Structure 1
Amino acid sequence: MGLFSTPIKTLDDLFVHTLEDIYYAENQIVKNLPTMIGKASNPALRGAFEHHLEETKEHVRRIEGVFRALSLEVTSTDCPAIDGILKEAKEIISDCGDAEVCDAAMLSAAQAVEHYEMTRYGTLIAFARQLGHDECIRLLDKTLGEEKAADQKLTQIADTQVNRRAA
């Protein structure tokens, strides 16, 4: 069976697995963002992390809503991809000796997380559309929009503040 706990035989199975994957990922992000908030020296970056923590808690609730809309039990499956991104972020941050460089490292790691989330939500929306899970699309699309906005905000902070100070 490989990495997956149940066989994935249909697109619906793959949709549910991907939903379980992003549910795990969002919960890991909720656990890890407070550390980044605490380490951020740049006020705009700290503020962006704080705002996104609250958004991410809402993302978790929305995913739970998707499970409910499908009459499924809320479950998660380990996500080696997000675990790897977060592990790498922790290692890079722990190696930084300068607060401004650490901000740049955290921002870069946060964008890697955002990009992973955007791919997952985009895939879920495409699957939901194909499967006729119209009630789920609205919830997933709202979250995708917020992930894109968070990424854009991080890019703006990187370009105008964090990367300049780190240089």
Structure 2
Amino acid sequence: MKDLQELFVHFLRDIYYAEKKIAKTLPKMARKAESADLKEAFESHLEETEGHIAKLETVFELLGLKARGVTCAAINGILEEGDEIISEAENGDTRDAGMIAAAQAVEHYEITRYGTLVAWAKTLGHKGAIAPLEEILDQEYAADKKLSSFAEKRLNEEAA
């Protein structure tokens, strides 16, 4: 990558790959959730994630690029760790607490990536890309806050 534009495109492809992987993982997490609220949150976030994918495809189109991902080792590792938690947790409440922690690791990764992409879009003058990327970023912050609320209000206590 010779300049910020190429780095920007690389990060777009990285997060596009990540969103597609997350979309494949969320249904499994919803099925494994003991808490009805957590199950609903995962199902709702799947709809948001599908919207994120569509918004990213719009950004690619605005830039005159084909929407395609590049392998994201970070998200693969985070999701693999989440799979371990799901398979190793011995009861539903513990699994739910672990899945919240794993989902928040995903959210924090996404927040980092989208925050960077918004800043770079502004620097590079990609005005049409800023709003969709900011919308996704806001949704990722909201998802993280919602997961924290579930954990702090009830699920951590039940797992304890």
1:80 pairs with 2:78: no
Q: Displacement, 1:20? A: 0.0
In the alignment, structure 1 segments of 5+ residues that lack a partner are 1-7
Contact 2:11–2:113 (Cα < 8 Å) also in 1: yes
1:26 aligns with 2:6: no
Distance in 2 of aligned mates of 1:48 and 1:41: 12
Where does residue 94 of structure 2 map in the other structure? 101
CA distance in 1, matches of 2:20, 2:154: 29
Which residue identity lines up with residue 144 of structure 2 in the other structure? D
Once the two structures are superposed, residues 145-164 of structure 1 have per-residue CA deviations (whole angstroms, 9 ceiling, x without a partner) of 00000000000000001101
Q: Which amino acid aligns with 2:60?
A: F
Cα drift, residue 49 of structure 1: 0.6
2:129 to 133, 136, 141: 136
User: What letter is aligned with 2:45?
Assistant: H
Q: Which runs of 4+ in 1 moved over 3 A?
A: none
Using the alignment, how far apart are the partners of 1:143 and 1:110 within structure 2? 16
**CA RMSD after TM alignment:** 0.5
Answer yes or no: is 1:90 the counterpart of 2:45.
no
Provide the aligned length of Structure 1 versus Structure 2: 160
- Tell me by how many angstroms 1:93 deviates: 1.5
Equivalent residue letter for 1:124: L
After alignment, is 66-75 or 77-86 more displaced?
66-75
Q: Which amino acid aligns with 1:83?
A: N
**Can you list the C-alpha shifts for 1:43-97, whole angstroms capped at 9, x where unaligned?**
1111111110000000000000000011111111000000000001101221111
* Cα separation, 1, equivalents of 2:157 and 2:127: 44
2:9 to 9, 16, 39: 16
Q: Aligned pair 1:148/2:141, yes or no? A: yes
Identity of aligned residues (%): 51
Q: Residues of 2 paired with 1:50 and 1:91: CA distance?
A: 20
Deviation at 1:34, TM superposition (A): 0.4
Unaligned 5+ residue runs, structure 2? none
* CA distance, structure 2, for counterparts of residue 55 and residue 45 of structure 1: 15
Letter in structure 1 aligned against 2:42: F
> Partners of 2:31 and 2:154 in 1: how far apart?
18
What is the aligned partner in structure 1 of residue 60 from structure 2?
67
Out of 77-86 and 43-52, give the one that drifted further: 43-52
Contact 2:32/2:86 (<8 A) preserved: no
TM-score, reference length from structure 2: 0.99
Deviations 1:130-150 (A, max 9, x none): 000011000000000000000
Distance (whole Å) between structure 2 residues aligned to residue 150 and residue 70 of structure 1: 28
